[in-house]
Each structure stands twice: as structure tokens, then as C-alpha cells.
Structure 1
């Protein structure tokens, strides 16, 4: 998908039916129904076009899936990067982590079918599709590793904390909110503050000895 299309998704703008419109529909279906239940015919019907018209843009269902996965990562990556870069110069890593967690959760829960679809179906798709998505996924992971490393260098994290393991735990916890988050019972923003506080300050009361 083009950079313009990714920006439109990030901003919640829906493209007319065409390549981007087909991807919009597919992302919504994959988010709601998973990989196996969504066929090319179902995508075409939801997009209001003939099934054969899909082949003008895509050679197969897996080409659509690969594009949805890439955009899903790109949207949340752009959201996180923009949230952190918008902070005033000299902002500490702790505040940056709050911003990054909030951006990830908002993209996941409030903004994009693509991001949510990526989390839901990544483990369901063929290995070849997962392999094709790895460069985009690795770039986002590297962004987190850089942020967590900076937090560690500033003394906000213990020096012996394994950055990779922490990143896996953090992103895994954030992505798992898709299974239980209820917007009627709280906002993604409030949830992000809770997660950041737990990761930075722990859950046990510290007692003087």
C-alpha cells in the first residue's frame, strides 16, 4: 500500500473501492472473522464488487493478507513514532514510554482495523505470508528496543533487564487487550496509563526494612 494510503488509514480516512478500498474491507473482515473464514468471494461481496474484479489488484487471497499485515504494522509504528516525536525536546524516556504505550493501544483499539487484524490473524496465516511481513514487524520492534534501551540508559530500568524479553512481554500484553477490552468500561488512554504505571513502578508496595 502507498504511503498516502497508510496515512489515510492512520487518520481514519476510508478510501473509495479500488485497491485501498478492497484492503479496508478485507482488514475489517479479517479482524472480525479471522483468516480461515474470509474468502475472496466474501471480500468482494462486502466491497460491493464482482469476485473477478479482485484479480485486477491482487493475484490471491494471500496477497491481500500480506498487504493487510504490512499496513497493520505500519499504522501502529507511525502512530507510536509520531506520539514520541511530538513530545517536547528533552522529554525523559519515562514520559516517552507512556506516549508509546498510549499510541499502540489507540491504534489497536480505537483507530485501525488493519492493526487489530494483524494481531488476530498473524498466527493463522501461511508461513510464507508471515515471513514476508517480518521486515515490517522487525522495524517496529527495533523502534521499541531503541526506546527501552534509552529508558535503561537513563536509569529508569534496571541495568540487568533484558530489553528483548521486556519488549516481547510489553507488546504481548498490549496486543492481548483485543480479547477483553470493553470501551464501555474505560478508555484506551486510561488503560495505557495503567499499563505504563505497572511496567515502570511494579505492583507490590515497597516497605522499608
Structure 2
């Protein structure tokens, strides 16, 4: 862990940024600059408070990071689960998958600095921080595995599809859009449609023989 507090006994911050405000600012900084470049002093400066005031809410930089990572997973997980749950009971497999893909991308690209920060810094943080976030990450992966398994069992997916590998490929491709997505050149919804077309229909032109 890094930048641990010398004492929990500090005065209440005069600035009303609060715990949520510190997290919001931290998520934006981590998304923009990565884990290593962001210090408690930099977070405090962006929040307009003294660095010592952060210790009123958090014991260390990595305690903030865990909270940012956890919220990032919750945002995208809730978005995907709610979008799929809202579909009519008789919705077909293609519409279900398109909805799940769209919800994941919108949460990642449009809705929250937390989701973007989670993807961008997870591989940069110390192992104890990753370990603290893993239960929520595993729960989201299990949500996808359950969805894909249900579709396979219903006959909508090929019987020999490896669910874990399919999920890793799908989520990995969606998360990688953070490196190049430009909202000025198209929306997250348009991108989700393009990705869904490729995943569901392939890229090769079928020719009758």
C-alpha cells in the first residue's frame, strides 16, 4: 500500500467536497492519468482541499483506489443486468446479446469515470488492491457466464462454444475501446451495434456453393 496516513485524527475538512466528491475527482484523475501519476496531493489539489483533509475520509491512496475500482464494477454490472432484465420474457438471443453489449459499452464510455478508471488502472495497482476488487469483478464475469450459458442451453449458441473464452474475448474487446473511442466520431450506441454485428454475424461473406 502507498501513502498511508500518519493519523486518522485530523480536522473536518472546511471544503464541502466530501467523500463522494473525493472519489469522483479521483476516478477522473485515474482515468486520465493512470495509477502511478496520481498522488494524494494531486487529488487534494483538484478537489481544492489540503492533502491532510483526505485522511478524514480515507486512510491511504490505495483505499481510494479500491473504492473507485469497486464502484466502477458496480456501475457496469448494474447497467448490464438492469438492461437485460428489462427485456420481455420472449426476447430472442440476438436481442439479448445486443442489449448486454450496448449496456456494457454505454456504462464504459458514456456514463461514468469509474468504469473507465477501473479498466485502465486495474493492471497497474498493487496486488492487494486487485485482490480487494476481485470479488465484484468475478461477480460481473459470472453474470456474463450465466447469460451465455443460458443462451447456449436454449440452443441459441453452438453447443461447443467455450463460455469462459467467449466471455473473455467479448469483454476484452469491449474494454479495449477505451484506448481509441472518440465520441466526436460516433456514439457508444453506434459502436455497440457495430461490435454486435461482428460478434453475432462474423466478418466473412458467405457464398453459396
Taking structure 1 as the reference length, the TM-score comes to: 0.90
Taking structure 2 as the reference length, the TM-score comes to: 0.90
Match of 1:123, SS state, is helix
In 2, Cα distance between equivalents of 1:17 and 1:90? 46
Unaligned runs of 5+ in 2: 1-15
Partner of 2:109: 109
**CA positional deviation for 1:90:** 1.6
Is residue 2:72 matched to residue 1:72? yes
Is residue 2:87 matched to residue 1:87? yes
**CA positional deviation for 1:138:** 0.3
In 2, Cα distance between equivalents of 1:186 and 1:147? 28
Partner of 1:8: none
Match of 1:37, SS state, is coil
Partner of 1:23: 23
Aligned residues: 194
In 2, Cα distance between equivalents of 1:135 and 1:150? 22
Is residue 2:181 matched to residue 1:181? yes
Q: 1:79 touches 1:104 (CA, 8 Å); kept in 2? A: yes
Deviations 1:185-206 (A, max 9, x none): 1111011111111111111111
Is residue 2:40 matched to residue 1:40? yes
If you compute each CA radius of gyration, which structure gives the higher value, 1 or 2? Answer: 2
**CA positional deviation for 1:93:** 2.5
Partner of 1:197: 197
Unaligned runs of 5+ in 1: 1-15
